[in-house]
Amino acid sequence: MQPTLHQLFFRAFHGQNNRLQAVRDELGLGRGQPRILSYLSRHEPCTQREIADYFRTDPASISRMVELLCQNGFVTRIEDSTCRRANRLSLTERGQKAAQRWAKECDRLDSLVLSGFTPQEAGQLKDMLGRILDNLDRRWE
């Protein structure tokens, strides 16, 4: 019996998490935290809301992860005296090094995942995954 699309997504997600777990542990990062560092490395400074919107996730969970990242010296807050919610986040030197290492390992994983794919197939896959994300943003009827 063939697995469903949902099962394949689930297995692929967990497969990539398992491949990267040792690096995450080595860097001292918890689940979900590397994606925040990755986002900040490309979009800093930014707000927690921007991160939550990008990853389509609960702002409260981003807030908890950011708090731990700040406590552990990966991220710093740029204070906004007018509104605490408007504080912007930036990577510390430790956060920059961790983000660079994470990006390198993700590139290695991408190469593994796409081995045997032509560049055209890899582009088509990225396009299709983007379309799936767009479809997931639609309201269920």
pTM for the structure as a whole: 0.84
Pick the CATH number of 5-136 from 3.40.50.300, 1.10.10.10, 3.90.1150.10, 3.90.400.10: 1.10.10.10
State how far the Cα of 93 lies from the Cα of 87, in Å rounded to an integer. 19
Phi, psi dihedrals of residue 89, rounded to the nearest 5°: -110, 145
* Per-residue model confidence as pLDDT tens for the chain (141 residues): 888 988 999 999 999 999 999 999 999 999 899 999 999 999 989 999 999 999 888 889 999 999 999 999 999 998 876 655 668 999 999 999 999 999 999 999 999 999 999 999 999 999 999 999 888 888 766
Q: Locate the domains of the chain by residue range.
A: 5-136
Q: What pLDDT score was predicted for residue 1?
A: 83
Residue spans of alpha helices (H) in 28-77: 33-43, 48-55, 59-71
State how far the Cα of 62 lies from the Cα of 19, in Å rounded to an integer. 23
State how far the Cα of 96 lies from the Cα of 125, in Å rounded to an integer. 29
